[in-house]
Amino acid sequence: MTDDTARRPRILCVGAYERDNFGDLLFQIITAQYLGDADVVYAAPFAADMTDLIGLEIPTYGPLLESEAFDAIWTVGGEVGGTSVDYAFRTRHDKEATRVYDAATPEERREMIAAEFGAVPMESPYIPRPSAYPKNVRAALVLNSVGLAGIRGLGSIRRAGMLGLLHEATRITVRDSAASRFLAAEGIEHRLEPDLVHSIAITRPRPADAVPGDYVLLQASTTHVKRYGIKAFAQAIIDSDVLRDHPVRLFTAGTAPGHDSFEQYEQIRDLVLRADPSRRLEISRTIDPWERVDEIAGAKLWIGSSLHGRIISAAYGVPRVSFAKRKVDDYVRTWDADMPWRIDHTQMNEAAAQALAMPTDDRGQELGRRAHENILSVVEHVKEWAATGGPADRVEEVLAIRNAQWSRMTLEIARAEAARAVAEAAPATPSAPAAPVGLARRVRRRLGRVVRRVRGR
């Protein structure tokens, strides 16, 4: 490796920035601020034109890893542990493509994925496995600012596969204590640090003379609004003394499928104004990441289900309230438990009043410093790996990891097949999900091919 290559490592950064999801767009933007000295490609499971929001055409990472060599593969952040291929497909594609996908057989779905992603099967949408790609078997695998606790809820076979994948990682930083406890129990080395987006307090500080606005930002995902009911959610706004005393903006933290909905917001707005035409309630229409950041930074109060809405509020010292959501609860419990959290719409007024009554906190500066220092150390890890090519026995290490994973998967497949046999013998007895017929044979063949490809490199 030349000195020039050592100075400019080649990095493939993978994230969910192929759609409008506020936090994932920020992961790309902020990570890029720290990788100015590297040759970086930002890719995703499926290609997308994101020039309007982040100025990039996002390619599919599968073909890139098949055809090109990288010094490091870097997952930029997010709740990636339990994310399924189905979820990644549905949140990227339009309604018609999703309808066709949902109606397809499992084999047809695999063919649809392969047509976009490439010949190597997608195991985890946002965590590529280096050993699946001969050109990248020696690459560093970095997972920064990730949530991984979702792996706990996977089926035993897929869980074994994901744990094997994590063992290939050379540097893991998780953002919540639930993920940290899970990895510790599995013997996987990692660090626990605040979410990368906190570093915005360091890299983009709010001017000292900035005057906070008087408006309240209110955000709720489609899932939350449906759970509460549009009428009940609107009524909670109508009944809130705090929200009556301040202008309210309904704010989107992402408009991709499954995130927030302008249509829902319009229905909520219409119900509130019909009940009280004097209410100061409007919908914030911006989807630009930096405009969203500035709108949160200048708010009187943040209320929402978005984790990164909460994080940016903390970074800039804005009082904040969070609706109940597992990944938000796990994160807030770890780093920011003083301000109200884990509420529903019926508790919104009381929680808002409580947050506004609390003294201004500087927690965001400390969390920002830690997030900043953590990513600097991750960058150094990648630079050192690029300069040396990693440990001399990296290939042997990866093969040992694959073999250990195969042993674990063999056990889980045997258990699943035994459960299926019991279920077939007594069909009226409830049973655990059965392994597909021939699964063990297919997995053995696939892992055998991987080992041969890696050894043949």
- Per the DSSP assignment, residues forming a β-bridge with 73 are 12, 141
Tell whether the model's pLDDT for residue 374 goes beyond 60: yes
Query: What is the percent of the chain where pLDDT is above 70?
Result: 92
Gap between the Cα atoms of 253 and 256, Å rounded: 9
CA 331, 311, 89, 99 torsion: positive or negative?
A: positive
Give tens-digit pLDDT for 47-65.
999 999 999 999 999 999 9
- Per the DSSP assignment, residues forming a β-bridge with 302 are 217, 320
Q: Which helix (H) or strand (E) holds 433?
A: none
Residue-level pLDDT at 445:
62
Tokens 């055998």, residue located: 448
Helices (H), 68-176: 85-92, 95-103, 106-117, 156-167
pTM: 0.90
Give tens-digit pLDDT for 349-363.
999 999 999 998 889
Give tens-digit pLDDT for 154-195.
999 899 999 999 999 999 999 999 999 999 999 999 999 999
Give tens-digit pLDDT for 35-51.
999 999 999 999 999 99
Residue-level pLDDT at 1:
40
- The SS3 call for residue 277 is coil
In which region does residue 182 sit, left (phi positive, over 0), alpha (psi from -120 to 50) or beta (all else)? alpha
Give tens-digit pLDDT for 86-96.
999 999 999 99
Gap between the Cα atoms of 276 and 312, Å rounded: 31
In which region does residue 272 sit, left (phi positive, over 0), alpha (psi from -120 to 50) or beta (all else)? alpha
In degrees rounded to 5, what are phi and psi of residue 109?
A: -65, -40
| List of residues 6+ apart from 241 with CB closer than 8 A | 349, 353
Q: Give me the chain's average pLDDT, please.
A: 92
